[in-house]
Chain A
Amino acid sequence: GAGVSQTPSNKVTEKGKYVELRCDPISGHTALYWYRQSLGQGPEFLIYFQGTGAADDSGLPNDRFFAVRPEGSVSTLKIQRTERGDSAVYLCASSSQAGVEQFFGPGTRLTVL
């Protein structure tokens, strides 16, 4: 596609439920990043993939959060047993292998009731 796409654009769920957020990076980009942006804050790094493997998951807040990228393209961020504090905009970005610039998607706004 022309840019990074994320689905859904909005997700409302209840506390304790499981959610999946999807990211489609720019075609050919091998690097993929997930960030979380809480209200009034800058984005915070969650996890980075190079190809299929998670090269750096140091930003995942706890073991309820998990992400996969099985074929080195689309990535899914999975959140188990959601809590109200998980409410935020989840941003995905991709870059070429040697690229410095990250291209961001529009984000998924997650609301946990």
Chain B
Amino acid sequence: AQSVTQLGSHVSVSEGALVLLRCNYSSSVPPYLFWYVQYPNQGLQLLLKYTTGATLVKGINGFEAEFKKSETSFHLTKPSAHMSDAAEYFCAVSRGGGGGNKLTFGTGTQLKVEL
């Protein structure tokens, strides 16, 4: 079975400050890892994903995440927060490979950006 833990259901940062959203996963097989963003009343949008290869992955809107196998972590960062980054962020894991890629999500982190 796979699981995802997101530490901090709510995170507040100042505009221009570093954004750090934490994600730890559990998987018995090499995982595929994802970060999705959800704006109010909208569907989920993929920010970035890790499958294989380079462990530091860059996504849209200046976000990046690093896969650390030894720490079973996939934390999301952005050097400088913008007001438009306020949204809910979900970390997810899948098994990858054949047989489908059903996602197991964390409970989400609501990011608030203050002036």
Contacts and interface: CB of A to CB of B under 8 A. Distances in A.
A102 B103 contact: yes
A14 interface: no
A104 B43 contact: yes
A100 B102 contact: no
Nearest to A45: B102
A43 B49 contact: no
Contact of B102 (A33, A101, A103): A33
Contacts of B45: 104
Contacts of B100: 31, 33, 48, 50, 55-56
B90 interface: yes
A14 to B, nearest CB: 24
A22 to B, nearest CB: 15
Nearest to A109: B41
B44 interface: yes
A100 B96 contact: yes
B42 interface: yes
B107 interface: yes
6 contacts: A50-B100, A59-B102, A100-B96, A101-B49, A102-B46, A107-B43
